[in-house]
Structures are given as structure tokens and as C-alpha cells.
Structure 1
């Protein structure tokens, strides 16, 4: 099984109402209950066991997501294996011997993820890493070694993950490699460590061979800052003779490379000038790359050999929607597919290769079948300096009943900004797009410079541009939407989480007349304190943060960070702002929200602050997510003249606390009473 060795970088004045005709049209579209979009899925995260005997998925037990298992021959005989009472299990994976289902879980969003397992036959639950203030990484799961896996544990030094061999039957941990300053390790299919990476002072990475448990002192290869996000080893073939890379050195977008380990020679297997190639489908028996994933406007698989070419062609023809292969058996006779039709809820399908048989296993949210979901439209928007911004637009049915992607009349719009910022928006069903479009808004998500997936030059164009050119891209996208009749210039909101939350604060503070209101979710307001409070296990990525954001150890860097921190310009905010925060957030400390709320309150600028004491970087518990979104849609309803479901009892079902500004959000004070 291929595991990537990656650097440790991490990895929103009220005006007139809508025209009467548009308002009537919007009201005629059935309102989708927000609980149907943001509540627990009926099933998700499906996996097939390596031996093909079992199916697993995540589904509610007493209202909380837990791990379930069923015989592959009879999914109706499903049984629940775990008994989480409060915090949902959000994913699980199989042990290589198909005997244990493994999952990671933290406490209250602190991201100290520990590893747990459940024996499928007996139901016995095991805490494999019963430590405090510890974060576990899975380093390697092998298709050849069935009884153990490699894990990284940082309980000795919070900055670095020591490598342990974990015997799944007994739970015994055996130290394999003490980590004295390496960002990560890569092992082969025999669970032998073969490579280690170390952060460079310029934000790049140096890669070293590991021989007989010792890291060589002479580098195998080095990667500079420009290539750091787009170059890394992916993994070895089963025989250990070939190493795959995603590699942008000597080109802009990263290519899929095969390197002969003995000679060091490399061969380009695939490249595309539009987008990075960063993942592939590998033969579970040999580890050979059979197809690669390409995502520019949409995601697709491109075959590299005849092994699965006919299978991919069959699936492309017969599957209704964009699909991904989520798991495969060791014999490679069965695949589990995740299918996304966009205008219908996602589903999981079993594909039997020999007979070319497709069987639907479940629909993730059957309550959304028949709901008025809308298409998503990929757009290429030109920034002021010529960069192409791949973006995604969803329109309310009231102005695009035929799904053409062209609005019959301008409507209020929500600019929905992704986090990261070293991440990307993609095509597919998005709960927030569907929810906001159903409320009467155009929804636009923009891959601004600094986003990943479009080559190293696009990423580097965002270096030291937080709140400047990265923000200009968002403004350019808004202007595009206004010019093309999508949005009303006086009715645009900005909303996002993490970096998207920062972008919201930046938009409200740096361009205070552009946005009618903003919704910030776990967004940093002070870039100094953000960099001071990042988790210790991000130590290896610190220099890359400094090089791409601003260096707090230099006078020049301090000045840059100061002028890019919305907190220092809180007094310039003119329009309504809603902030949501998890009290236990290890990435964006709760003080990031508290600081700007205090600064705005001191100047009597309206701001509403909602905090959840049992959440971290985002809201994992559906009751909390639903509660915040209930506040959000009523807040947006007043600001943008859209529709909103009443807040109702959603706050009482959650842990929401409102330390400040309940009076500024419609219906919030009443809901709290």
C-alpha cells in the first residue's frame, strides 16, 4: 500500500430587498432542511476488506457516528463495532489481515489523535496508543506483512514522531527508529524504513536513504522551497525496486515519475501542463502504477497500462457521476467506488471486475434524494495580472432552472473561500454550495494563488501575499461575477474556514466596502500569534510557513505580518461580522477569535461571536455544525435578503456559547432564551 512522505505543512449596511419577481421565484423552490445537509449521513466511508470478505462503513449509533461491519455477501447483516457516545468517528481503515478495523480519534477537537482497533470476530476493542498529549501517525500498512503496521508516536518529544512497529493481535509496540529531527519516514512493503526527510532552512526538504536502520548523512536528493509543495516520494513497488515520485523539478506542474532504485534513473510516466499529478491507482499485488488521477476542472483517472484500462472505460460509461476508487481487495477482483453525481447524494458501489457487475451498497444521504439540488459549474476566471483562477459556481434554481450555469438575473452571492491556504476547491457535491444556493444565493469558490494542484508557479505566486495578491484574486472573482450578471455588487458576502476565515477577516478589514457581511469560522486574526501557537508537531514545517507567510524573526517579516493581520485594522470594519470558533483548536488558537472580538467591541463595532467548548478546528459534531449554520443562515438572510430556516431549538441541542453580540444576529438572542 502506497503512503506518501510529505513535508509537515498544513497541511466569511443592509440594502434593498430583491426584486419582487426574483423573490417569488426563490420562494417557489422547496426549502431543504439544513439538518438533511449537515446532520449525520446514513452511511459513509465505505471500505472493502483486503480479503474481500467484509464491508465496513461509518453510520450513526444512538445519534453518533460509529464503525459498522457486514459480510460482503450480505450487507443487510451489518453490526456496529464501536460505541462512541459523543464525538463521531469520521473514518476507519482495515488491518492488512482483514481481522481488525482501525480508526483514530481525538478528544474535543484537540487533534491529539490516538489509534484504536476492533476485532471483527470478537468485537474486542483495543486502545493501541493509550497516551496523553500524543498524536499518532500511520506510517505504513503493507499488503505483504499482515500482522503488524508502522506508526509514528510523538510522546517522547512532541515535535517529532518516533517510529514503532505495532503488532495488531497483542498491541505490542516495538521501537524501530528514534526520530531526532526528521519530518517523516517512508517504508517499503516489508515495513523496512528506506527514506527519511528533513526540513531545510529555506523551507524545502532534504531526503536521505535509511540503510540498516541508520539515516545516511549524504543526501539522496534535495528539494527547494519552490518545489516543496509539489515534489515528494509516493512509495515503493512490492519488490522494492521502483520508487514513485510526484515531482515538479525541471517543470511547473508535478509529473508522476518512476525511479529505478538501484541506478537512480527516473522515467516520466505522466504529466499535464494544467495540473499536478499527485496520486495514482496501484496494483495491490505488485504496487505498480496502473493509472493516475488528474484534477484540473474535474477529477478523472487516466490509464497507464492495459491492466485496468477496460475497467476504467466501463466505469466511466456506466457510472452516473464522478467516481473514485476508495478501496480494492488484495486479489484485485473487487473495488469499492465512491460516486458523486453532484445533483444527487453520493453513493457507494461494489464493482466486481470479472463479471463487470456494479451493485449499489448505500446512498450517503437518502433524505436528499429528490431534493432540489443544483449543478456545479467550473469556471476559469482571469486575475488582473493574467493568472487563471479555476473556480466553481453554483446558482439557485430561481435564476437557472435549466442548470446552464448562466443566471437569468443577478442575485446575492456568497464568496466561499477554502482553507489551507495550501489546498484547493474541487468539483462535486458540496453541502455548503447546495445549502446556500437553496437559500437563494449564487455561491462562488475560487482557487486563488497559493492554492495547490495547479503547479508550483501558482503556489509560489502566493508567497508573502496573504491579504494582498491572494485577496486581490478574490476581489477579481467578485468583479467577474458582477460583470457577468451573476451577483449584485451590493449583496456579496464572504465566508470561509481556517485560511478562509482569515480571508473573511481580511476582506472585512482591508476592503470594508466590498462585502455586505462576513462569516469567519476558525480564522486567524493576528499572524504573529498564529505562528507562535502552531502545534509542536508542525516544527518541521515552520520554515516553510515563514518563507510563504512572513518571517517573525526578522524586522522585514515582522512589518509584513503586522500589516497583513486583520486584528490591526479591526477599526476599519464597517459591515456585520459573525465569528465561529472551537475552544480547543490546536491550529488556530481560540485567542485568534477572542482578540478581534475584543478589538471590535472596544470600538463599539457590531460582531457576533459563537464558541463551542467541545470543538477544535471546525465543528465535527453535527449538532454543533447545525447550530452554527442555523445562526449563519439567519445572519445571511438579513444581510443578503435570502431565505432562512428559523434557528429553533438548534442551539439548545448544541454546546454553543455566545460570549458577545447575540443581539446583532437575527433570532439568536431569542434562541438562547
Structure 2
């Protein structure tokens, strides 16, 4: 077993500080492989008693495996599940002796169209049973008897200790999901029974929410351009409709049902901007007016924290710029404060067993420069153990620092940006810069923490700017909706304004800037050199949209017909009514204006942005006399899955940037 997983006992957390590492030779950059290999340790989970710890481990070039650690023993961790053709990707405890784990072929793009493979196993590695198949005809293993077919997927859990999961039978018509039927499924006996024998409240129910006892409490259905929500009590009974809203204009969205039977929803604050967490008043059929939790400046993203076997809420984990924990439990609140003092400058996420006395506490600690490490505290012996690092090849001291800022666009709208500065660089030095644009675009780009793409670029001497431009989610409804029908327009202006801000600060060299991104970010990169060629000397676009009109027209993409019919016309533009606008902001129509060097990269098997986007753009640039650098990975889809391709791609990006920004 790797030294990485060997437990190291110490009596004080201060002794866990990293030992000095042998410095790299002067001028030798951190190897590109260090940023893009599978994680060495991830997904650590404590058993119900806190004695055992299961996690996913990996070594470079090997499949990810399921490992088991006895935290009360000096014995090395054991591998209890390992496959030749798939990776273990996640694990959860069902009881002190039984676990379930997920498998996937993370290097096979075809796996993205397959179901998640799920197994059960005993803590000692025995009695492994396959529960859910990944494929209809060509599954990788026959061991474990008769698993459920791949149209079943995990959608919830039964009561703690019941060894039951909740699986949904997904029904399709012409590749479109029509409804989901839930079943309880015992992971040891593989007995299956309906969650409810009542008729569903609507023929197109696709979403189910369960309370901590595994009882169905809420469903969602789609009907035309509307989303409907139905609720019922813990004792069962009739479903009643509690909400009916247009797709993009919901007054609330479900969050969770807690151990006391209270139902919580997300809804906008009184000013109609940031989402808050509210309890739903079942008697009145509406959310209570006062929020339980509010996060000004951010949309609430809340995870309820509890201890195995208990229905009591211990606290809430909330995503702001980083992850924050609001503990309701006094002992854990006090211990969180102690850990934060001992590990300053990091996000320290705690999970516990014997929480009232902090008998056993698992700490996942990370920062913008530290990819993460796992630590274990025993309240009985007052000792700590280091369990391992997430990315052992990364030297924290050689990584850049990431700062979260809010700036104003040219029209006065405020939006956030992330700025990652190379290690050792001075704020007074204007650096060559990469504006790195996230995909989505209706998505949050990132949270504060280690981000491989940005850190790799920073390690090569670039200032990295990651804007949360209008259209991004997570920072208020106003910012998100301001991006509607603004592809290549105000959304693009925000990217230019982010660069201008950094130039005005003296951080960025305005004459040496490149724009880069994937998916929507790839679209924005091309639009940057088409419409803002005076700002950007080059563009790197991977799996990028090159013509928004193709998103409606290409019939073999994986975008649903409902999205094309009900949401995309409002968020991107109507293919008929807004045809002129879409054409005016299609990079393939603007190829003659692109004079800067361009790198285009695509996955041959991409179903989200099919290769035709790249082929058309390449042809248009060649016709314009600006032949792009062209990369196609035959075995990849919408992004890079294989470490070798990640390394190859970023090596080529490094060379491309060096030629255009440093020479």
C-alpha cells in the first residue's frame, strides 16, 4: 500500500504541518501531469461508529480503488474493491458492516451515456454484489447475480441502518424522460418493492424528495412549459398541489425535508434578487415570510448536516465565495472554531460521530493553494491522524493565490471575478494574462479553493482572471437574468471589463492577454477575438459553441426537446424571432474579423456540442486566411476524461500561449 495512506498519529494538530519538501530546481516548472492526474485520495466517509473509514484511492496509471482504514489500528489500509476496466468513484455507508459504492469508466466517454454502476460490499471486502447495471448488453462484470437494469438509478436513501436505497425506474419515450417510478431496494437481499402504491399525482412526475426516514414527501412534474410541485404528509394520504410555475419563473424551489418533518424551499429575498432558505408553511400552502438562512450577495446553496442514526439537524453547510458551516450543535460549533484557528486560511469541513462529545471528527481541509487533505481527530485519546492528501504531487508553496472580488461593468452592473496570481509575483508587476471563461453559461464558474486549470496557468507565469459574468448563477437572480439573450453582447462586454479592471490595477499587461474557455467559454473566446480583437492577442476554444443556431438544429445533440422549446428561446434567443441577433453573434459568421491566432479543440464523440461546430469554424477560419491550430480527441466527448489527453491538451495550450504572449 502507498505511503500516502499510512496513518500517522500525533498528539497535537500543530505537528501535522507539512514537512519541508525538496525544492524543485530553479526555473523548473511544476510538471503538467501533477495538475491533471486522478486524485490520490477522495470521498472519505466515516462508518456509523466512527471506527472505520472508507475512501477512494488512486495511483498514477492505475484504476481508482475502494480502500478501508481501521482508525484504531496501526495496520495499513486495505484495498477491498478494485476492477480492471472501471474506477471506483464514490462510497457511502449503509450500516457498520455494509457499504455501497459507485463505479464508472472515467476514461471512456461512452460511459457518460450509461447508468452509474452500483455495488454493495461488506466492510471486510466480502459479499460484493452488483446492484445496478451500467449497460444493457455489455456490462463489465457478471458477478453478483441479477442486478437492476440500467434504467434504474439511485434517487434517495431509506432510514439509516435499514440497508435500503431508493431507486427510480426511469421511463423514456423517443429518448425523452417521461416519468420516474420509485422503489425501495435492499442492498443485501436485493428485494425490491414500490415506494408507494398510490397513483402518482401527475403522469409526468420525474422528481422525488424523501424525508430522512425514506418516505416520499414531494414530487415535481413537467407539463408543457410549467413545473408542478405536489406534497403530502409523513403519514401518507393524498398528494396536493403546492406550486405551478413557468420553467424559468418559479416562486420557490424545493430544498429538503428535515428530521422533524419540516419542508424547506429556496426563494428570492424581498428585493427579488438572492435566494434564501425558507420553511414552507404547509397549513397556508406557502413559504414562511422570514428566512431560516440568508446569504446576501450569494444564492443560498445549503446542505443539511446530521449524524448517522439521528434525525436531529446538526447544522448547515452553505456555499458563499467559499464553503461555510453554520453549526447548531454547540460542541461542533466550538470544535470548528478550534480547527479554524489551528488551520488558518483554509476551508475546514467537519463530519462527526459522537458529535455531542466530538468522539470522532473527520476534517477535510483545503485552500486555494492546497488541493485538500484528510485529518481525523479522536476526542477519547485527544490525538490526530493524517490520512492523506488529495493531490500529493502538488507543492502548496508553489501554487498561486486566488482572490474573490466584485467589480462594476461599463453599465454599472456589479459582478464577481476570481483573480489567481502566480506564486511569488508582485501586485505591482503587470503580467501576461489569460481570461478564463466558464461554461454553462447559466452556471457558477467556481468557488474559492484549488482549481487545476487556473493553477496550471498561474504556474506558467500568467495572471488568470475568471469572471462570473452576467448569466452566471449563484450570485443573484438579477445577474443571472441579465444574461438572457446577451450571448456575444453584454455578457461579452463583462469579460472585456474584467480585463480592463486588472489592467487599471496594474496587475495585467493589457498588450499580452489571451481569452480561453470550454463550451460556452469556448464560444466567448472566439467572440473575444472576433469583436474585441484589440484586447485579446489569441484565443483558446475547446468544445466551444460556434453557432448558437446549431444548438436548436442539430438533432443528434443531447439537449432535450423541452429545453429547446421552453428555456433556450428565452435564455439564448428564439431561433425564428431572434434569428438576426443569433446570426450577428455567431463566431462562424464573424470569421473574417478574426485576425488573432486561434486554437480549436473538440471531442469526436461530443453530444452536447457536436464536432460539426468545430468543423464549420475551422473551415470558416481557413477561408478567411487564418488557419487555426486544430485538435480532435477521438475518444473524448464534451471535455477531456482521460488524463493523457488532459496532459496533451494543456501542454499544447502552454506552447500556444508562450508563442503568443511571451515572445
TM-score of the superposition, structure 2-length normalised? 0.82
**Within the alignment, does 1:83 sit opposite 2:82 as a pair?**
yes
Where do 1:161-176 residues align within 5 Å?
Answer: 161-174=180-193, 176=195
Label 1:260 to 1:72 Cα distance change in 2 as closer, same or farther (>3 A). Answer: farther
CA distance in 2 between counterparts of 1:185 and 1:536 reads: 22
Label 1:175 to 1:303 Cα distance change in 2 as closer, same or farther (>3 A). Answer: closer
**CA deviation vs aligned residue, 1:447-503 (integer Å, no higher than 9, x gap):** 111212211111111111122111111110011111111112221111112222222
**Within the alignment, does 1:376 sit opposite 2:402 as a pair?**
yes
Label 1:207 to 1:370 Cα distance change in 2 as closer, same or farther (>3 A). Answer: closer
CA distance in 1 between counterparts of 2:37 and 2:544 reads: 23
**Within the alignment, does 1:152 sit opposite 2:152 as a pair?**
no
**CA deviation vs aligned residue, 1:389-427 (integer Å, no higher than 9, x gap):** 221112224532xxxxx2x22111011111222223221
Which residue does 1:139 correspond to in 2? 155
CA distance in 2 between counterparts of 1:356 and 1:556 reads: 68
CA distance in 1 between counterparts of 2:121 and 2:397 reads: 39
**Within the alignment, does 1:114 sit opposite 2:113 as a pair?**
no
CA distance in 1 between counterparts of 2:530 and 2:254 reads: 41
Query: Which structure has the higher relative contact order (CA within 8 Å, separation 6+)?
Result: 1
Which residue does 2:267 correspond to in 1? 247
CA distance in 2 between counterparts of 1:64 and 1:524 reads: 33
Which residue does 2:50 correspond to in 1? 52
* Counterpart secondary structure, 1:325: strand
CA distance in 1 between counterparts of 2:158 and 2:167 reads: 12
Which residue does 1:517 correspond to in 2? 538
**Within the alignment, does 1:207 sit opposite 2:229 as a pair?**
yes
Which residue does 1:668 correspond to in 2? none
CA distance in 2 between counterparts of 1:586 and 1:324 reads: 37
**CA deviation vs aligned residue, 1:315-364 (integer Å, no higher than 9, x gap):** 22223443253755587753433211333342112244677754321112
Structure 1: runs of 5 or more not aligned: 1-26, 401-405, 643-673
CA distance in 2 between counterparts of 1:200 and 1:509 reads: 40
Cα drift, residue 268 of structure 1: 1.8
Label 1:335 to 1:510 Cα distance change in 2 as closer, same or farther (>3 A). Answer: farther
CA distance in 2 between counterparts of 1:135 and 1:506 reads: 40
Cα drift, residue 280 of structure 1: 3.3
CA distance in 1 between counterparts of 2:615 and 2:190 reads: 42
**CA deviation vs aligned residue, 1:113-158 (integer Å, no higher than 9, x gap):** 3232141331625151354495664311244362221123435444
CA distance in 2 between counterparts of 1:377 and 1:108 reads: 34
CA distance in 1 between counterparts of 2:291 and 2:73 reads: 43
**CA deviation vs aligned residue, 1:96-125 (integer Å, no higher than 9, x gap):** 565123214254253423232141331625
Which residue does 1:238 correspond to in 2? 259
Where do 1:177-216 residues align within 5 Å?
Answer: 180-199=203-222, 205-209=227-231, 216=239
Which residue does 1:268 correspond to in 2? 291
Equivalent of 1:488 in 509, 513, 521: 509
**Within the alignment, does 1:478 sit opposite 2:478 as a pair?**
no
**Root-mean-square deviation (Å):** 3.2
Which residue does 2:243 correspond to in 1? 221
CA distance in 2 between counterparts of 1:538 and 1:429 reads: 36
Cα drift, residue 210 of structure 1: 5.3
Q: State which drifts further: 33-42 or 97-106.
A: 97-106
Which residue does 1:615 correspond to in 2? 636
Asked if 2 retains the 8 angstrom alpha-carbon contact of 1:112 and 1:136, the reply is no
**Within the alignment, does 1:432 sit opposite 2:432 as a pair?**
no
CA distance in 1 between counterparts of 2:171 and 2:80 reads: 28
Where do 1:212-611 residues align within 5 Å?
Answer: 216=239, 219-224=241-246, 228=250, 231-239=252-260, 241-248=261-268, 250=270, 251-261=272-282, 264=285, 266=288, 267-284=290-307, 285-304=309-328, 306=330, 308-325=332-349, 327-329=351-353, 333-352=359-378, 358-369=384-395, 372-397=398-423, 399-400=425-426, 406=427, 408-421=428-441, 422-531=443-552, 532=554, 533-535=556-558, 539=562, 543-552=566-575, 555-611=576-632
Which residue does 2:132 correspond to in 1? 128
Structure 2: runs of 5 or more not aligned: 1-24, 138-149
Cα drift, residue 242 of structure 1: 0.5
Label 1:492 to 1:87 Cα distance change in 2 as closer, same or farther (>3 A). Answer: farther
Label 1:448 to 1:349 Cα distance change in 2 as closer, same or farther (>3 A). Answer: same
* Counterpart secondary structure, 2:168: strand
Asked if 1 retains the 8 angstrom alpha-carbon contact of 2:433 and 2:509, the reply is yes
Label 1:638 to 1:141 Cα distance change in 2 as closer, same or farther (>3 A). Answer: same
Label 1:242 to 1:263 Cα distance change in 2 as closer, same or farther (>3 A). Answer: farther
TM-score of the superposition, structure 1-length normalised? 0.81
CA distance in 1 between counterparts of 2:33 and 2:662 reads: 22
